[in-house]
């Protein structure tokens, strides 16, 4: 059921970006770290179960990652560039990251994404893709270290904990504890450890795992709704780490549970396939709606008005971009390794 969980995390990001209320800001922060944990598990799983670490498997893995992430992203970025070029002043007012830059590094970052992690990115055609840039760098760390053994994943987790402890001791602001690559090492390593320790966890929990995961999702939603009550200091401080523990627990439970029916697997797969396109398109869809109906602004009303059109555009991206490419991705996959069930297709970004 990772597909449905990833869809929930994507919706949390949309709530922050289009909701227009400071009390909603932490939703996106919580959602991104949830994505990191899930990605750490899924990337470790497909490397261990499908690709391996030899030259052929590694080449297939990286080509598959490129085909999954970049075609849809480049199409959305190009459409956004046209929209921003037609309405430059309105675009910058709506989203400051749409101030078109004359620096070559900004254009390289928009083309390849992973450079975002290594410079001060001021211009992003698809604003939330700074986190995809972080993920791409972390994919490399997963491939190079985390996915290869349990001990190496524990080493990365220890380094991640050490960095968090240092960041708290040094009094870094919340963005410095949230946005850089080193901040993502801990959630990615936790996701990797979930894979490495999955078998004993499955034996202990059995059929109870899915029910416990559903309860955990309710806790995540309730905590996100209530976290603003103590104020921003809690929501982006202690609440940030409470959410991290909750999403890690739910990810571990989902990793060892099975959907109860074929119909549920299909729904889960479709929700998983919609999550990445929704993550990509919601800013541009929201901006187009504001151009058509200026009174919407960035507000809960815009959020409500944008969800339906954003899902429709996401579905079109799946049908027109992802579906044709999926056949090529399937051909690139190496024969599965030795008898362990691979993640469902809709769960893997």
Q: List, for residues 67-120, the tens digit of each pLDDT value.
A: 999 999 999 999 999 999 999 999 999 999 999 999 999 999 999 999 999 999
Residue 346, pLDDT > 90, answer no
The pTM score is 0.93
Which pLDDT belongs to residue 340? Answer: 39
Q: List, for residues 230-275, the tens digit of each pLDDT value.
A: 888 899 999 999 999 999 999 999 999 987 788 889 999 999 999 9
Interior angle at CA 15, CA 326 and CA 290, nearest 5: 90
List Cβ neighbours of 104 (8 Å cut-off, separation of 6 or more): none
Look up residue 25 and give its two tokens. Answer: 């800001």
Task: Count structural domains, the chain.
Answer: 1
Long-range contacts of range 225-228, CB-CB < 8 Å, 24 or more positions apart?
227/26, 228/23, 228/24, 228/26
Look up residue 193 and give its two tokens. Answer: 């450890």
Query: How far apart are alpha carbons 207 and 259 in whole angstroms?
Result: 10
CA neighbor of 95 nearest in space, from 36, 29, 16, 31: 16
List Cβ neighbours of 147 (8 Å cut-off, separation of 6 or more): 43, 44, 47, 48, 53, 153, 192, 195
Q: List, for residues 115-134, the tens digit of each pLDDT value.
A: 999 999 889 999 999 999 99
**Does residue 11 contact residue 26 with C-beta atoms inside 8 Å?**
no
To the nearest 10 degrees (0 to 180), the angle between helices 150-170 and 181-196 is: 150
Count the Cβ atoms, other than its own, within 10 Å of residue 93. 12
List Cβ neighbours of 59 (8 Å cut-off, separation of 6 or more): none
- The secondary structure element, H or E, covering residue 192 is helix 181-196
Which pLDDT belongs to residue 48? Answer: 94
Interior angle at CA 151, CA 38 and CA 57, nearest 5: 60
CA neighbor of 91 nearest in space, from 250, 291, 335, 266: 291
Look up residue 164 and give its two tokens. Answer: 């968090």
Per DSSP, the chain holds a count of helices (H) and strands (E) of 15, 0
Q: Could you tell me the residue range of the domain that residue 149 belongs to?
A: 2-347
């Amino acid at each position: 059921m990772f597909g449905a969980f990833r869809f929930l995390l994507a919706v949390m990001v949309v709530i922050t970006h289009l909701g227009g209320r400071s009390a909603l800001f932490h939703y996106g922060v919580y959602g991104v770290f949830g994505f990191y944990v899930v990605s750490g598990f899924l990337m470790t799983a497909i490397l261990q179960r499908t690709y391996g670490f030899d030259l052929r498997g590694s080449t297939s893995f990286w080509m598959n990652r490129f085909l999954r992430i970049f075609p849809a992203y480049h199409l959305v970025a190009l459409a956004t560039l046209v929209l921003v070029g037609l309405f430059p002043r309105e675009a910058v007012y709506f989203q400051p990251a749409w101030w078109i830059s004359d620096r070559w590094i900004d254009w390289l970052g928009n083309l390849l994404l992973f450079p975002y992690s290594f410079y001060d990115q001021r211009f992003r055609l698809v604003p939330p893709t700074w986190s995809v840039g972080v993920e791409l760098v972390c994919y490399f760390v997963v491939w190079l270290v985390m996915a290869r053994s349990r001990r190496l994943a524990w080493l990365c987790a220890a380094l991640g904990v050490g960095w968090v402890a240092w960041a708290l001791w040094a009094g870094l602001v919340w963005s410095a504890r949230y946005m850089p690559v080193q901040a993502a090492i801990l959630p990615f390593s936790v996701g990797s450890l979930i894979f490495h320790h999955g078998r004993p966890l499955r034996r202990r929990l059995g059929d109870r795992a899915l029910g416990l995961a559903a309860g955990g999702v309710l806790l995540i939603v309730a905590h996100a709704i209530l976290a603003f009550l103590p104020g921003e200091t809690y929501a982006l401080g202690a609440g940030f780490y409470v959410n991290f523990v909750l999403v890690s627990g739910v990810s571990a439970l989902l990793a060892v549970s099975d959907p109860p029916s074929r119909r549920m697997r299909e729904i889960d797969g479709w929700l998983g396939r919609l999550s990445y396109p929704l993550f990509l398109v919601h800013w541009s869809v929201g901006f187009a709606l504001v151009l058509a109906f200026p009174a919407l602004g960035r507000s809960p009303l815009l959020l409500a008005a944008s969800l339906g059109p954003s899902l429709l555009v996401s579905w079109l991206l799946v049908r027109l971009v992802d579906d044709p490419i999926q056949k090529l991705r399937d051909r690139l996959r190496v024969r599965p390794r030795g008898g362990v069930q691979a993640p469902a297709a809709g769960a893997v970004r």
